[in-house]
Amino acid sequence: MFLDRVKLMIKAGDGGNGAISFLRTKLVMNGGPDGGDGGKGGNVVFVATKNMNTLYTFSFKKKFVAENGGNGDKKNMTGANGKDVRIEVPCGTVIIDAETDKIIADLFEDGMEFVALRGGEGGHGNAYYKSSIKQAPAFSQTGEKVKQKEVYLELKTIADVGLVGFPNVGKSTLLSCISNANPKIANYHFTTLYPNLGVCEVKGQTFVVADIPGLIEGASKGQGLGHYFLKHVERVRLILHLLDISESEGRDFIDDYHKINKELSHYSAELAKTPQVVVFSKTDLLGDDELKAKISRFEREVGLEHIEISGATYKGIEELKKLTLEKLSKIPKKPPIEVEEFDFDRRQKNTIEITREDDGTFVVEGGKIDNFVRGVVLDDTLSFAYFQSRLNDMGIIDMLKERGLKNGDTVKIKDIVFEYME
């Protein structure tokens, strides 16, 4: 099975909670606060590897969750940081935000890494809150909770060369002759059901060849499987366009040439501009004179660079490998897909927004608030007093007053609802 688009659920680890603890030893009865901070949650990291070429593994596993940070402990022990979850994907995997459909990364090169989601921050332990006024804070901060997200992975194969042509023209045969790949070859249409990749070596240099199956007339409009696979030709630098010059299936080979090109240009204007070399296959099935006559006709009517091969006798195979390498040396690598400036893992830590409900209640929201209320323990007077004084320090009371806050008005901050008193 070939899988080149999947939806995954990913989640970074939550931060660990800070601890509440006071030092107690034989010698010190009522020591100071020593609750340690919580550890940071693990990240979600995607890693490109050349050892995979489909997204097949994701048909079983679609959920990836990084480890949560450990909670802080007594004796100022910081919680352990959560382990990252590392997701290996084939080179050429594009990561798309399922919510906005925006591309967030293009992992085009082996070893490339992308941190998609960062783990939550650990909460501070009560030791952190000790000050000259609060000698014994009996509260700590909870770890930052992070949300899960959904992404699509879409594979746009990274190959240097794409083999295109009608079914049965000998694409897989050619791939098996020039590379280490061992594709299925048979005398019927759609033998190959998904793109095969092979590495071809010439004079100590290598390039990657992809056999793109299923292209037929109407492919760009969704006929057959071709349209589905055209995205794998998008990034090739050179197209080897195979034409069965023996016309073993009764079609006109020049007609085939135009039809395939039409599909490529319908799919994308960019693809139509990709340099091509025409490869005449199955030349062993023609006599010399017949072959010559057909080639002259092609030269008159089309006039594109071409080469003759036979997968049966190996004629032209070495020449084709050398020609391909020579061509590639002059064509620059395609750049990765441009990714828009966009923070997928957006956490607006500094925002404060004030709105009013129908009954006049003031609602305070925003990233800064999320962070701040993590430390409030409602049934602890010290903690609540700390919360109130921080509301002043942070300028939130002033902001509320600007919006018309008066004595007796109700204020809602996350789960905390209180009546304002000057």
Ligand X SMILES: Nc1nc2c(ncn2[C@@H]2O[C@H](COP(=O)(O)OP(=O)(O)OP(=O)(O)O)[C@@H](O)[C@H]2O)c(=O)[nH]1
Q: 10 Å Cβ neighbour count for 128?
A: 19
410 binds ligand X (CB under 6 A): no
Q: Based on CB atoms, which residue is closest to ligand X, 173 or 383?
A: 173
Strands (E) located in 108-244: 113-117, 149-155, 161-164, 196-202, 205-211, 238-244
Segment contacting ligand X (CB under 6 A): 126-134, 183-191, 216-224, 263-271?
Answer: 183-191
Which residues from 131-190 bind Mg ion, rule CB under 5 A? 172
Q: What are phi and psi of 204, to 5 degrees?
A: 75, 0
CB of 237 to ligand X, least distance (A): 21
Residues 6+ apart with CB under 8 A from 184: 172, 191, 192
d(CA 92, CA 240): 20
168 binds, among Mg ion, ligand X, none (CB under 5 to 8 A by kind): ligand X
Q: Give the single-character DSSP code of 327.
A: H
18 binds ligand X (CB under 6 A): no
CB of 239 to Mg ion, least distance (A): 16
250 binds ligand X (CB under 6 A): no
CB of 325 to ligand X, least distance (A): 21
Identify whether the C-beta of residue 344 lies closer than 8 Å to the C-beta of residue 104.
Answer: yes
Q: Based on CB atoms, which residue is closest to ligand X, 153 or 174?
A: 174
Which residues from 282-301 bind Mg ion, rule CB under 5 A? none
Which residues from 284-303 bind ligand X, rule CB under 6 A? 284-285
CB of 3 to Mg ion, least distance (A): 19
* Helix, strand, coil distribution of the chain in percent, nearest 5: 25, 25, 55
d(CA 337, CA 94): 8
Among 6, 95, 146, 169, binds ligand X (CB under 6 A): 169
307 binds ligand X (CB under 6 A): no
3-state secondary structure of 256: helix
Per DSSP bridges, beta strands 103-107 and 93-97 are antiparallel
* CA-based radius of gyration for the chain: 32
Q: Based on CB atoms, which residue is closest to ligand X, 136 or 193?
A: 193
Q: Based on CB atoms, which residue is closest to ligand X, 284 or 409?
A: 284
Positive or negative, the CA dihedral 398, 404, 409, 413 is: negative
Number of residues binding to Mg ion, judged by CB under 5 A: 3
Alpha helix positions (H), 268-361? 269-272, 288-301, 317-328
375 binds ligand X (CB under 6 A): no
Number of residues binding to ligand X, judged by CB under 6 A: 22
196 binds ligand X (CB under 6 A): no
192 binds Mg ion (CB under 5 A): yes
Q: Which long-range contacts (CB under 8 A, 24 or more apart) does 145-148 make?
A: 145/14, 145/15, 145/120, 146/11, 146/12, 146/13, 146/14, 146/41, 146/117, 146/118, 146/119, 146/120, 146/347, 147/11, 148/9, 148/10, 148/11, 148/65
Alpha helix positions (H), 144-249? 171-178, 226-230
Segment contacting ligand X (CB under 6 A): 127-135, 185-193, 256-264, 377-385?
Answer: 185-193
Q: What are phi and psi of 318, to 5 degrees?
A: -65, -40
CB of 66 to Mg ion, least distance (A): 41
196 binds Mg ion (CB under 5 A): no
Site string for ligand X, 310-349 (x = CB under 6 A): xxx-------------------------------------
179 binds, among Mg ion, ligand X, none (CB under 5 to 8 A by kind): none
Q: Report the interface residues with ligand X, using CB under 6 A.
A: 167-173, 185-187, 189-192, 213, 281-282, 284-285, 310-312
User: Residues interacting with Mg ion, by CB under 5 A?
Assistant: 172, 191-192
